[in-house]
Amino acid sequence: MKNVFFDMKPSPKQAEFLLSKAKYTAYGGARGGGKSWALRYKLLLLCLRYAGIRTVIIRRTFPELRENHVRALYELAVKTGLATYSETQKAFEFINGSLIKLGYLETENDLLQYQGQEFDIIALDEATQIGERAFAVLAASLRGANDFPKRMYLTCNPGGVGHGWVKRLFIDRSFRKEEHPEDYKFIPALVYDNEALMKADPDYVRQLEMLPEELKKAWLYGEWDVFAGQFFTEFDMSVHSADVDLPSHTERYCAIDYGLDMLAALFIAVDEEGRAYVYDEIYESELIVSEAAKKIREKCTNEMLFIAPADLWSRQKDSGKSIAELFSENGVYLTKIVPNRISGWLALKEWLKKDENGRAMMKIDKKCKNLLRTLPLLMHDTHRPGDAATEPHEITHAPDALRYFASFRAAAARREERKTFMRGKIKNLN
């Protein structure tokens, strides 16, 4: 047992992880930091320390779990006589009654198997590969009528569908009202912190160092503002975010993405040089049309063009009216566009592109926090080149609204007449 279980010495960062008692501890940030090793040993130590403790280790797919953990756990626990393994139950049961169950979350349906279950410890490997809802459901399973610690341990790298919530909680530490900052701890680790790997496989380090710049920032240095698969690589917070001081003469637009799940409305001014300024936003859920229209009217100026996608003109079965018609009845007169996703994204990329002086044609006011949060989180659609992924759905609303603006401005030169809302009246602009 000594040769297998105790011979490996943790790095200082791994030791910090093993000793952490925070309710939620995230470890990693870059490739090669020894995340999997630390997670396995944490569970083993807990199972040996607390007789009868229930733990689970979860990864996106079971083949990934088998490759990264099951074989190693078998060597550490079964061959040393500490535990038995049941392929049917997919669990390691220790001689003192402790348990390490094995789980996966490949699809939304897989989440159902954890609802109603109780665990003392949940280990979430590659947490950025699952969505925030899955994290919330799993966190609700941390319970039990015993004195064992109730904690979740996570490993993570930048990128993936869960990038946004992991970054919010552990990197940006931007907490909601019901979240407690003292519950969350992040331990960053780079490949350079993993002396064992650097000695055993120096070529791996060199491979990371030879990556293209954007990938190197994410995988080697663990930078969370740039990550693999990011759709808008043009986005630069230092360039595109500012305290906007609007020019005196501008055309005003409001681009709207509406559904009962979310109203995303962006208020945009375009100056005489053609530069765009996103100066305000609405980002609220569960608003019926009259409520949404009221909030939009409260922020609109004397002359403003309201842009919305064609699907809002589809008639509703219950009322026989379209969403656009309901908006007009509440004082917001929408201009219909039929946006093409790929060409719209391309148009938006042109707005964000920096010129030779490092300037872009679009600025976003710092108070537009949801747009600034979600725009850099969009990932590439792996099945449709040129398109952005539609999951996780929550981060798509504000970027979609901005895409509608970009689509409209790209076609505006061909329009002979436009309609705009002016204090409850329709006004023609030539």
Ranges 18-32, 223-237, 370-384: which has the least confidence? 223-237
Number of separate helices (H) and strands (E) present in the chain: 15, 17
Over residues 333-344, mean pLDDT: 93
**In terms of pTM, does the model score above 0.75?**
no
Integer angstrom CA distances of residue 159 from 131, 163, 204, 224, 235: 12, 5, 20, 8, 15
Given a cut of 80, whether residue 196 has pLDDT beyond it is: no
Contact 114, 122 (CB under 8 A): no
* CA distance linking residue 91 with residue 73, whole number of Å: 10
Give ∠ CA 104-106-107 in degrees, rounded to 5.
125
Over residues 257-273, mean pLDDT: 94
- The single-letter DSSP state of residue 388 is B
Residue-wise pLDDT tens digits, 275-331: 999 999 999 999 999 999 999 999 987 789 999 999 999 987 777 799 999 999 999
Contact 235, 251 (CB under 8 A): no
Given a cut of 50, whether residue 416 has pLDDT beyond it is: no
Given a cut of 70, whether residue 414 has pLDDT beyond it is: no
Given a cut of 70, whether residue 120 has pLDDT beyond it is: yes
Given a cut of 80, whether residue 214 has pLDDT beyond it is: no
The tokens of 5 are what? Answer: 């279980």
> Greater confidence, 221 or 333?
333
* CA distance linking residue 46 with residue 321, whole number of Å: 60
Over residues 105-133, mean pLDDT: 87
Q: Name the amino acid, one letter, at 402.
A: L
> Greater confidence, 410 or 255?
255
- pLDDT band at residue 8, thresholds of 50, 70 and 90? low
Given a cut of 60, whether residue 14 has pLDDT beyond it is: yes
- The single-letter DSSP state of residue 322 is B
* CA distance linking residue 215 with residue 264, whole number of Å: 31
pLDDT score, position 424: 38
Contact 378, 388 (CB under 8 A): yes
Query: Phi and psi (nearest 5°) for 192?
Result: -70, -15
Query: Phi and psi (nearest 5°) for 128?
Result: -70, -5
Instruction: List, in sequence order, every residue forming a beta bridge with 185; answer none if it has no partner.
Output: 25
pLDDT score, position 279: 97
Residue-wise pLDDT tens digits, 87-106: 999 999 999 999 999 999 88
Over residues 143-155, mean pLDDT: 94
Q: From the centroid of its chain, how far is CA 187?
A: 19
* CA distance linking residue 333 with residue 289, whole number of Å: 12
pLDDT score, position 253: 96
The alpha helices in 67-120, defined as continuous H runs, are 71-73
pLDDT score, position 363: 96
Domains of the chain plus CATH, in order, are 2-219 (3.40.50.300), 237-429 (3.30.420.280)
The contacts of residue 390 (CB under 8 Å, 6+ apart) are: 381, 396
